[in-house]
Amino acid sequence: MEHVSGIPSALFVHAHPDDESLWTGGTIAAHIARGGDADLITCTWAPGTVRHSELCDAARELGLPRPPIALGYADSFVPESAPDAPSIIDVPFDEEVGVLVDHIRRVRPDVIVTYDAFGIYGHRDHIHVNRLVCAAADAANLVHYRPETGDPWQVKSLYFATIPVSVVDEVSPHLPEASHLPLIGTPDEQVSVTLDLQAHIGAKIRAITSHRTEMARSASMKGFASLPRDQQRQFLAWESYLRRDLVPGGADLG
């Protein structure tokens, strides 16, 4: 439902801890700061793991009013992320859609934010989550779809996090080869929304660095951290999206 402020409510759906901060952290912080309501679903890493604890720390830095919702699947590359659960890409698709529909009907967001169809840089878990969100957003409003999960809910707009080609061109030459990120980017003219989040860059950086395990382990995170100041600021201070309205007029994010 719309927040009392009249600002559309938002649900951010990500595959892994740190994605919420790296790709949409400024948007989350800005949305909360202007009086909006938001929730975060993280699909992998079970409660009780170190990275889930770090996720909760990051969520607090971004100002989220409630703890992240953990679906508890395993990262497809890291089985120990959820030792007693299957990989996110091995669970039957319809089963996962049903789980997500249940949360959508309970949270009742106006806007859902996730990755673009390429998963920003081709990560198979990101691509899978994009597909789940698209299917679940449609199914959530069907009266006959899993009525036991609650009343139907119409999401107004989907926003898909992406990187404009112009940013890729500026940043990529400064990333070490070890970062392993195949950044390709979306042509600038196809990008629907670019948000100026310079006022919230501090919260975003604090959230990113809350993911201490990944900062220490990940070549790509180390690569982003090693960018020259100007390129790092360009990467962190703006976030871009493709927008898909599910009802006429949709709902604005930012």
DSSP string, 129-177: HHHHHHHHHHHTT-TTS-GGG-S-----EEEEEE-BHHHHHHHGGGS-G
- Give the pLDDT confidence score for residue 221 in this predicted structure: 86
The verdict on residue 54 lying in a domain is: yes
Confirm whether 228 is domain-assigned. yes
pLDDT digits (tens, 9 = 90+) for 59-117: 999 999 999 999 999 999 999 999 999 999 999 999 999 999 999 999 999 999 999 99
Residue 251 located in a structural domain: no
Q: Determine the Cα–Cα distance for residues 23 and 102; give it in Å rounded to an integer.
A: 25
Answer yes or no: is 4 within a domain: no
Under DSSP, is residue 218 helix (H, G, I), strand (E, B) or coil?
A: coil
One-letter amino acid at 134 equals C
- Predicted pLDDT of residue 218: 86
Q: Which residue has the tokens 């990944």?
A: 214
Count how many domains the chain has. 1
Name the pTM for this structure.
0.96
Query: Rounded CA gap, 61 and 123, in Å?
Result: 26
pLDDT at 2: 45
Predicted pLDDT at 20: 98
Domain that holds residue 111: 10-245
Provide the b/e sequence for 150-167 (b: ≥16 CB within 10 Å).
eebbebbbbbbbbbbbeb
- CATH number of residue 230's parent domain: 3.40.50.10320
Please tell me the predicted confidence (pLDDT) of residue 112.
Answer: 98
Q: Are strands 238-245 and 193-196 parallel, antiparallel or unpaired?
A: antiparallel
Question: Would 76 be classed as within a structural domain?
Answer: yes
Residues in the chain where the model's pLDDT stays below 50: 1-3
Q: What pLDDT, on the 0 to 100 scale, is given for residue 172?
A: 87
In a domain, 63, yes or no: yes
- Residue 52 near residue 45 (C-beta atoms within 8 A): yes
Is the four-CA dihedral 83, 137, 131, 112 of positive or negative sign?
Answer: negative
